[in-house]
Amino acid sequence: MNLIGTKWKPLVLFHLLEGGLRSGILQKKIPGISNKMFTQTLRQLEKDGLINRKVFPVVPPKVEYSLTERGTSLEPILRSLDAWGMEDCKR
Amino acid sequence: MNLIGTKWKPLVLFHLLEGGLRSGILQKKIPGISNKMFTQTLRQLEKDGLINRKVFPVVPPKVEYSLTERGTSLEPILRSLDAWGMEDCKR
DNA sequence: GCAATAACTTACCCAAATGTAATATACATA
DNA sequence: TATGTATATTACATTTGGGTAAGTTATTGC
């Protein structure tokens, strides 16, 4: 799954700890992430079974991401990374 | 510091949790790491202030690595990564 | 003299991660 | 008809992690 060895995954997960978010809002919480890496990271996390993707059939599109149970189980790790002041979680 | 975003750093630190080790022995605990990445990773960790490097002026050379206090403070993170079964810590 | 030893280092190369920028979709509305 | 909107994808370039293999050092012992 490679949570480690990737720049953005932990960051994305961290911002979902407080609850699900709309795509756009989540992205704004991660300054510096490119459009591409944002969706690419989400796709991977979804494939890893760590997040849910919920699409609302409206226009313009609305998509919400939230942690799965498995994703939530990472909370201790994500919080300790944050507490420790890991660069990648500071942004 | 980028503990995350690198393949080997957490692994090296993890194996030092139980105490300092000679270079060669530490390397053997990390199958798959190349000679180059091994020393390169150690240099980075040393620069990050996470490990100590102690050289014994003997022949053939003897070098021991151990965690600094700062490095030891990562123990909860390293252990939870391991407990979670992170791929990189399974080897 | 010459091989063996432990710990590195260096040159060279490839592949994977990431960045940039343009484009797509589908409908509402001015 | 043209524009805005939120989400996403694609092609292309660049950066960086990582591998391989050979060379370095300084001594001991055959």
For B13-70, the pLDDT digits (tens) are 999 999 999 999 999 999 999 999 999 999 999 999 999 999 999 989 999 999 999 9
Name the 3-class secondary structure at B73. Answer: coil
What pLDDT shows up at residue A89?
A: 41
Does A51 touch chain B if contact means CB atoms closer than 8 Å? no
What residues are paired with A54 via a beta bridge? A64
User: Whole-number Å distance, CA B47 to C1' D8?
Assistant: 40
pLDDT at A90 over 80: no
Contacts of residue A67, defined as CB under 8 A and 6 or more positions apart, other chains included, come to: A13, A16, A17, A20, A50, A51, A52
Query: Which chain A residues contact residue B70 at CB under 8 A?
Result: none
Residue A31 CB closer than 7 angstroms to strand C? no
Does B74 touch chain A if contact means CB atoms closer than 8 Å? yes
pLDDT at B91 over 50: no
User: Whole-number Å distance, CA A42 to C1' D8?
Assistant: 11
Phi and psi angles of residue A66, each rounded to the nearest 5 degrees, phi first: -150, 160
Q: What is the pTM of this model?
A: 0.87
Domain architecture of chain B: domains with CATH: 9-89 (1.10.10.10)
**Separation in Å, CA of B33 to nearest CA in chain A:** 15
Placement of tokens 């790491």 in the chain: B33
- Select the more confidently predicted residue: A41 or B86: A41
* Residue at A39: amino acid letter: T
pLDDT at B90 over 60: no
CA dihedral sign, ordered A9, A11, A12, A15: positive
**Separation in Å, CA of A48 to nearest CA in chain B:** 12
Placement of tokens 């050379």 in the chain: B61
A51-73 burial by CB neighbour count: b if 16+ within 10 A, else e? bbeeeeeeeeeeebbebeeebee
Token code pair at residue B34: 């190349």
Q: In what order do the strands lie in the sheet with B21-22?
A: B21-22, B62-67, B51-56
B68-84 burial by CB neighbour count: b if 16+ within 10 A, else e? eeebeebeebbebbbee
pLDDT tens profile A25-38: 999 999 999 999 99
